[in-house]
Structure 1
């Protein structure tokens, strides 16, 4: 990808092939593009059309490489089966980073959106979904996941991004069990992380 491309540019381009549910451009610690990203389309047909249209496509003097990709680890639930609508073209030819909240906002339930079943231990994510505030602005979803996995098994971790692709300083973490979520609140609420005291509570 051209390095000045942001998620909105990527979404605008790929919506020519169909309905785009989510578009992400991977960012480094300095908030600069790494030159690759991911696009999630509503149907397998749309994804196939996107690959046909944009693999080898010249965009701002760069030739795109587009191929199908697997679900990201945060959404890879062994208790569920991904349907045909979960084909994800990867743009740029490298393994994708699901820098979260590319275009849907922090309250989107991606597990439900993708048609994946939740673990049967809970009827929802209410008791397992945590809000994490006062994050360092260089913190990415993988950093958040690596920190909070000390408390238990994480289903997904997201850091909210603004329209400029930069962190908004907060995110969410969904745990596999309410027990793990409760332990995370006790461990990390008030925890100093890179000079900032985290604010952790159950997300509504």
Structure 2
């Protein structure tokens, strides 16, 4: 059974908002016909084009009712748009009408995404009634995804993940108002065809839950390495069969006919495989310390290595937190040695580097690391804003990408709180 979805082609909008016909929306009725007030007058507006202004949003959303306030959230330092905004109405009815009429409306030639503002981070991150969809056709956009999944209940949030150039990554998320709607959507659409592609529809898992799921996955196939060159298939069978029934075993052989010193053992039972890994990993056999672990696909190995690398980088960054300074607005002619000389009065410098492009040209930025936090703090206080080669130097504590992202989120939270 195929669920073919037609992609809607919205008309382009000029610098200002496109005119949108707004139809009055009745308030939802409870059983017995009693009208229930809507819970909020505040809307979240996402997927904004970078140049959208407060006045454009005010003009567009005023078509639905009396707008109390509009604010495009911006970076505190650069004042660049963060890609979303909040619109507040005086009436819940107006907010409901705007969400119904303006969701996916084009603004500066880009469809916007409108939903009720949810200021409770715990509910947003809980994953409740939230589903994950992958193997989406690249032509499917937010509106198409919304139209497809809205048949199962009221949707709070709906988004197709996009890359840096605005192309679909082939997966997305839908959060329903009720868990029953999410369960119904998963049951009905998992494995179905959307635009001739079978899609996976399952529960959304937070990163920590995905990591735990990955670590605890059941497996039958075991990888073993650091074998001695004389170890044979029969030797593997003899060692591993003590832990359960083996369906296959192999020692990998190179083009020269010699052992590549690693192999695979497949168990009939995942429990037996797990026990073999637990008891044999790190054990010395024929003067060789074996590594024994779950056999992984290439993609899984790469994911595992990436996680380990990111963790090691985090540990290193945490170790030197507050000792590493980031500099920018440096004159292009300044060298590493000159930079070291500029900061040497503040303490012992452990590393000092100007960032350069592939042609060796300075990017105007760099890093200086001190042996103690106190030295770095003094250098920051005295050097930030100081004129160097006719340019004011910018100095700040260096931050990891995750920390910068957290700061952006904090800035956006502040923006939301002061609506």
Larger radius of gyration: 2
Q: Could you say which structure has the higher helix fraction?
A: 2
Give the TM-score, by structure 1 length: 0.49
Higher relative contact order (CA 8 A, sep 6+): 1
